[in-house]
Amino acid sequence: MDRVIEIARDGFVATLTINRPDKLNALDTGVLHELLVAVNALADGGETRAAVLTGAGKAFVAGADIAAMATMPPADAKRFSELGHRVCARLETLPFPVIAAVNGFALGGGLELALASDFIYAADSAKLGLPEVTLAVIPGFGGTQRLSRRIGIARARELVFTGRMVLADEAARIGLVNEVVPLADLLERARATAAKIALAGPLAIANAKRVMLRGAGTSLDDACELESQAFAALFGTTDQKTGMAAFLAKEKATFTGT
Ligand code: COA
C-alpha cells in the first residue's frame, strides 16, 4: 500500500499531511495505524518542537471511512474507536504543540483529530462538523468529549445532535478555530506560528502543554499545584539559565531543550 501520511520537516517544525485525497482523506484502520506510527516517530525523534497537521486536496479529513465501517460488527467498531482514541490521545499528549491547519472539510474523525490538536487554524473555505448522528452513530474518536471542552457543552450538544457543518467564520466566532486564513496562506500561517513556538524553550512548552491539559481535568487548587511543580522544575534546567541570562544581557537566547 502507498504511504498515506507524509512528514515534511523545516528545522524544528514538522508538517504531517494526510494524503488520500480521492477519499477526502477518510480514516480507515490502515490510515490510523500509519498516523500513529508517524506521530510516535515525531515524538521519539526529539527534533520536533512544533507540528502542523493538515490534509491533501480539498479536505482536511472528511471523517472515518464510512465504507470500512458500514458492515462492522460492534466488537470491531469498539476496536476501531479505541484505535482512533489512541491516535487522538497521542496527538494530545505529544511534548510539543500540534496546530491543525484545516484546509477544507473537517468532519467526524477529521474534526476529532483537529480537536486533539492544540488549536486550529482554518481556511476560509473550511467546513467543520460532527455529522455522525446523520449516519445513526455517534462520534467515536473523542468528539462527544473534546468538543464541549473546547466550545462549551450547549454549543457542542447542538452540533452533535444536529450534525450540521459550521463554516470557518462561525467556527471562529464560537472558539472552535483560532483564526481564519485564506486557503492559499493557511500552511504558511500555521508554520509561522509553529516556528515561533519552536524558538521558545522546548521544556517550557512541553510543561505548559502538559499542565494545561492535565489541569483542565482537576480542581483549580490541584491544577495550580501541578503548575507550581512544573514552574519549579524548569528552574533546574540549563535553558532557564540561558534564557534569563540572555534577557539580562539584552541578547537573544538559543535553547537546547536541556
Ligand atoms: N468515508 C469514506 N469515503 C468518503 C468519506 C468518508 N467519510 N467522505 C468522502 N468519501 C469519498 C466519497 O465516497 C467519494 O468517493 P468515490 O469518488 O469513490 O465515490 C469521494 O470521497 C469524494 O467525496 P464526494 O462525496 O464525492 O465529495 P463531495 O464534495 O460531493 O462531498 C462531503 C463532500 C464531505 C460533503 C461528502 O463526501 C460527505 O458527506 N462525506 C461524509 C462525511 C461524514 O459523514 N463523515 C463522518 C463519518 S463518521
Give all domains of the chain, ordered by start, each with its CATH number: 5-198 (3.90.226.10), 201-248 (1.10.12.10)
Nearest to 102 by CA among 150, 159, 72, 57: 57
- Give residue 45's pLDDT: 84
The answer, yes or no, to whether any atom of ligand 1 lies below 6 A from the CB of 20, is no
- Answer whether residue 20 shows pLDDT above 60: yes
The answer, yes or no, to whether any atom of ligand 1 lies below 6 A from the CB of 111, is no
pTM to 2 decimals? 0.97
Residue nearest to atom 28 of ligand 1 (CA): 24
- Answer whether residue 16 shows pLDDT above 60: yes
- Mean pLDDT across the stretch 215-226? 96
Question: In three state form, how does the secondary structure of 41-59 look?
Answer: HHHHHCCCCEEEEEECCCE
96-148, pLDDT tens digit by residue?
999 999 999 999 999 999 999 999 999 999 999 999 999 999 999 999 999 99
Count CB atoms within 10 A of the CB of residue 102.
34
Residue nearest to atom 12 of ligand 1 (CA): 23
- Residues with catalytic function: 112, 132
Q: Kindly indicate the confidence band of residue 1, based on its pLDDT and cuts at 50, 70 and 90.
A: low
184-197, pLDDT tens digit by residue?
999 999 999 999 99
Half-sphere exposure of 45 (CA within 13 A, CB side): 18
The answer, yes or no, to whether any atom of ligand 1 lies below 6 A from the CB of 165, is no
- Give residue 152's pLDDT: 97
Grid cell at residue 160: 452533535
Residue nearest to atom 21 of ligand 1 (CA): 23
Please report where in the chains the cell 483564526 appears, as a residue: 179
Q: How far is the C-alpha of 133 from the C-alpha of 135, rounded, in Å?
A: 5
Q: Kindly indicate the confidence band of residue 6, based on its pLDDT and cuts at 50, 70 and 90.
A: very high
The answer, yes or no, to whether any atom of ligand 1 lies below 6 A from the CB of 62, is yes
Residue nearest to atom 45 of ligand 1 (CA): 63
The answer, yes or no, to whether any atom of ligand 1 lies below 6 A from the CB of 66, is yes
Please report where in the chains the cell 490510523 appears, as a residue: 32
pLDDT above 70 as % of the chain: 99
Helices (H), the chain: 29-45, 66-69, 74-92, 109-116, 143-151, 153-162, 168-173, 186-199, 202-216, 220-234, 238-248
The answer, yes or no, to whether any atom of ligand 1 lies below 6 A from the CB of 151, is no
Q: Kindly indicate the confidence band of residue 46, based on its pLDDT and cuts at 50, 70 and 90.
A: confident
138-175, pLDDT tens digit by residue?
999 999 999 999 999 999 999 999 999 999 999 999 99
Q: How far is the C-alpha of 18 from the C-alpha of 193, rounded, in Å?
A: 20
Give the SS3 label for residue 234. Answer: helix
The answer, yes or no, to whether any atom of ligand 1 lies below 6 A from the CB of 127, is no
| Contacts of 175 by beta carbon, 8 Å cutoff, 6+ apart | 150, 151
- CA-59 nearest atom, ligand 1: 34
- The pick from 23, 27, 141, 164 for probing ligand 1's pocket by mutation, whose C-beta has the most ligand atoms within 8 angstroms, reads 23
For residue 64, how far is its CA from the centre of ligand 1 (angstroms)? 10
For residue 104, how far is its CA from the centre of ligand 1 (angstroms)? 12
